[in-house]
Amino acid sequence: MTGSLTIRQVTPDDDPEAEFDLRHRAFGPATRDRETMLAEQHAFVADGALIGAWDGQALVGSARVHDMRQWWGGRALPMGGVGGVKVAPEARGQGVGRALMTEVLAVMSRRGYALSALYPATAHIYRSLGWEIAGGGYRATIPGRSLGSLLAADPNLGEPASASVRPEPRGDPGGRPPGLAPRGDPGGRPPGLAPRGDPGGRLPGMALRRAGPQDAEEVIAVLGAVHEAARHCGPCTRDAGTVRRWISRPDFFGYLAPDGFVGYGWRGDGAREMMVHTLQAASAPTARALWGIVASHASVTEVVHVNIAPQDPIGWLTREEDLSLRLRGNWMLRVIDPRAAIAGRGFPVGAQISVPLELIDPDLPANSGPHTLTVGDGRGYLLSGLTEPAPGSPASGPVRLGPRGFAALFGGVPMTTLRLAGLAAGGDAHADALLDGAFAAQPFMLDWF
């Protein structure tokens, strides 16, 4: 590097071509059209969510913070999804990446995110700042012919429900927990859901219709309600602007039900390989109807790829064991505000624990210190200081966790794993068993960013 390093938010006064050129140099030729990419860049700049690193006058690094809600135990938490982290080739190995991510972490803390998640190209820098592997992104491959005839419901159970019921989402349609105002609305009033209308595609037999850009808020609300009802851990919902741009793409096809949504397109030329970006439903009739939309292309589609949860019901609906599931990549989690993260997370209803913890967080020192974790009736609380142990609580000293260990525990990684990896100390076997029961999860994400 030739000058002093400056790290700050990219502003509208900065040259947009500089970030575009940096992306090209760091990631190679763009696979999407220039106008779309510049429009996305403008949206991040307008939201103050594009962070840049300058060596003198030259932009040598940047990263984006996606405004997301991540669902844990069926409850939504504000989460900063970090993506597009890049450093110019000539500036690599000189501390730019770590300095950039240190500022990104500070920005997310100031903006009130409880959590942050990212897909790492290399894990070392992120681990040094407290991110740790907590879940995976999974993709299934299914022969098109297997979707043409799905298994019927078990006849011994009686008639399946004839109508789907949409769960009521908590908070606003973007999944923001109650008490946090949606961005861009200082009054905190959630925007109204788009009218259902009929843009030319309502299907007979149920309230299933084509989705358009005007349905972005409703798509977010429906997906959030599905994650809530299923008590999912890990998946995210996006802001309305991002979803609107997503649905507006000419190569995207979406269908919306009161309690489900499917969005898909094709890979490469022709229709031989379909890519289902998401298919989520809260009831059996809706799940079958949405998979029926996908299956309607079976005569021309040889292979269907789908971003999926490891326990998605499609694995129990195909007649043959044709579904191939693979881990496409691990993602890392960082707990930015431990108290808000615990208070906003859903826990198993039967878990009743009180465990002393000692958190050590050098990069966010306000998080450090002794705490007492209590969980009961599906809710959790992290109180500063150590309280008198409740009956049945561990009698040993506190379990000691750094930010990596706490992030992994939050994601359901067993305490035995954390201890063997050197990410947990103190406490005892009783405390470990209580923590494992409270945080048990198989986190997944459906998004790639």
CATH of the domain at 361: 3.30.1050.10
Does residue 312 share a domain with residue 229? yes
Q: Where are the beta strands (DSSP E) in 292-397?
A: 303-308, 324-335, 353-359, 369-376, 379-384
In a domain, 129, yes or no: no
Does residue 176 share a domain with residue 239? yes
Does residue 342 share a domain with residue 310? no
Does residue 294 share a domain with residue 251? yes
pLDDT tens, per residue, the chain with 449 residues? 666 899 999 999 999 899 989 988 888 877 677 888 888 899 999 999 999 999 999 999 999 999 999 999 999 999 999 999 999 999 999 999 999 999 999 999 999 999 999 999 999 999 999 999 999 999 999 999 898 888 888 889 876 554 444 444 444 434 443 333 333 333 332 333 333 333 344 454 568 999 999 999 999 999 999 999 999 999 999 999 999 999 999 999 999 999 999 999 998 777 789 999 999 999 999 999 999 999 999 888 999 999 999 999 999 999 888 899 999 999 999 999 999 999 999 999 999 999 999 999 999 999 999 999 999 999 999 999 876 665 666 567 899 999 999 999 999 999 999 999 999 999 999 999 999 999 999 999 999 99
Per-residue HEC secondary structure of 359-383 comes to ECCCCCHHHCEEEEEEEECCEEEEE
- CA-based nearest residue to 235, from 224, 248, 219: 224
What is the residue range of 385's domain? 332-444
Does residue 345 share a domain with residue 305? no
pTM of the shown model: 0.86
In a domain, 397, yes or no: yes
CATH of the domain at 68: 3.40.630.30
As a whole number of angstroms, the distance between CA 332 and CA 314 comes to: 27
Number of folded domains in the chain?
3
Does residue 184 share a domain with residue 59? no
- CA-based nearest residue to 109, from 367, 293, 369, 392: 367
**Which residues make beta-bridge pairs with 275?**
265, 305
Q: What is the pLDDT of residue 45?
A: 95
As a whole number of angstroms, the distance between CA 219 and CA 243 comes to: 8
In a domain, 144, yes or no: no
**Which residues make beta-bridge pairs with 50?**
64
Does residue 89 share a domain with residue 224? no
Whether 306 contacts 291, CB under 8 Å:
no
